[in-house]
Structure 1
């Protein structure tokens, strides 16, 4: 595979028992799931240990659970699948999975309490070390959208500031690196990091810490509600996040991983899921520096399981009984088309200026002693659906412009613009608003 070939994978949701399968681990069932994923022509899976199952006590990381994770990775290798492992689960499909030694009688801030943070470090190091000698181990993701524990609208957040978030991320990523040096270790947040004013996890952290920038593109965040299932902003939402992430990166060649994207009903009706899937991936592939696409998710959630939000039941590329769904066919077609091909899209020569740069004094990780909201946090809502920047980018895209994004501080920096292939810079005020719906 060429070094610049794009990767295609799935977030592995077991067909039997969902992520509760770790309680009744059945390697034969896992193998059957992985056979079905490999048959789609995918090359990797992202897998999710449940943190309280693997580390039920701060001093106990269950050896048997770690062995089962390694067995899953080995089964994936037998089918030609690489594996990324999310460590701190954390939060999945509306359910929180936090160990009892962090809650209620042991209530602690998971980002700042010294004993909790030390326990997290050892847990991540242990998982990474267990897989370090496996050639198909890509690396660790610190946790799945763990930023949701730090702020509203979580019902019981562990509140922190941006400096504390940056220090926590640095420690967690360092623990992964100690366990498995040289692998692709990343962290991943839901889009509050990009869109929510004052949120402690910031764009600079996302785009500058770890080996790649991970973005999670979900159009139920107001995008599909505002623009419709077939709207330009909806079908280009993943591409928008990729370009937004690239604006914040210090390295113009830093890879961006579309680590989650899915077709949520009823905003994307089942009969339109294949179109949405193909459009989302095709538009993402029009972005330079794309490491890969990991679709959410491999298998539907069984209707035998209760209390999931309705949209979670039907997100799979495969049905709960293993039937390939239209979205699965779409991903398989795209993966086959790109297999072994270099990914070299044309540069996006026009950039839209984002007027929320880092304040003076912010370092590479986004640490800052400046007053107010570090990392341009005060203006992030302009980037969210309905915000002036978001809507201007979507309007340009609807005109066929292929806009990149550049921070205001770089908008007149010839070296930065040249490195990214940008030859024209536009401001939001230069973009005609879209006609009324």
Structure 2
């Protein structure tokens, strides 16, 4: 019996372990941290051995293959030792795809991928497709494959997941944009991050589709390095740059072969960045054969994504918006561009090698005050204090919301759009957003 070891016992790792056990492998799960009780219960229910708080070499380096959590870099000591022993290291997505014939719609990008993935899934569900949602969002793909067959999966893919995918292929691949993010993972080298994102192109065939934003300053030149055999559709706001999907006279138009148009005003998601997300979703849905009227309905009634420009409440005349998913500078830029009232911006967290220069002018134009939220706000002081805006220094969400309530006047907007990862003060970006919402509603 071949042995598979899973490093990391969260959603993806436990799903991979259950699928591997189902397929007859000898399975062992190891996590350097503490494993959540719900995942221990799942592992125990399937008779899967596990350990937490350590990696025991003799239980790991006898594996035929290792499936690692996306959060564990390939430079991690145990991963390096495994590779030196000739043990293959793959992602949960790569492993799960071996056991399904379902078609894959895969979405990656630095910004907008959760919204676009959720929107495509919503349209597929509206069409009555037998579809699963997975990857960097929703339930583990491996667990869904283990529990029952879907005809389609809509999968959000991070650069971390793409790093460990080799034979996997998308049937419809969507690349939204590439802007600096996670540079701490790539030795602060942008090209390493770009190369990971471009792996979305792997193994495409002439029967597949590749959808991308033609105006992206990184993607467009990068594509010249690749021979893409799939059917390629580019989208943009205007057709002049060579886009096949665009807006003309207030009407969204897709290529003639996909036969689709609808008034832009009917889109449920406002803002230019959401126009791009909607164009990408429309292309993917039509490429999958979903009827025009159903695509139009899905684009019109999509409710949005939690923690992404989520309206929380209006308290004492102040609007509060939760954009906790804005974990890089470009995401914050999109949020600021959408602001139409004086804004108190909450910014800060675990810096990932951020360059704040692209948002400084917007901060100056749109913001009435800044609230820094982090364990260490030094870099924020260095970058923004010189703008002369009122500033508050906070190290907890309670302090942060109190500071915002004191600084915001009636008619203002308080925007949580942190530019940074959440791991200095919070479990994850969801925890950060939930704490914000709870405290705001208790003002």
Question: Would the TM-score normalized by the shorter structure come out above 0.5?
Answer: no
Q: TM-score, normalization: structure 2?
A: 0.28
Task: Flag the structure with higher strand content.
Answer: 2
Rg larger in 1 or in 2?
A: 2
Higher relative contact order (CA 8 A, sep 6+): 1
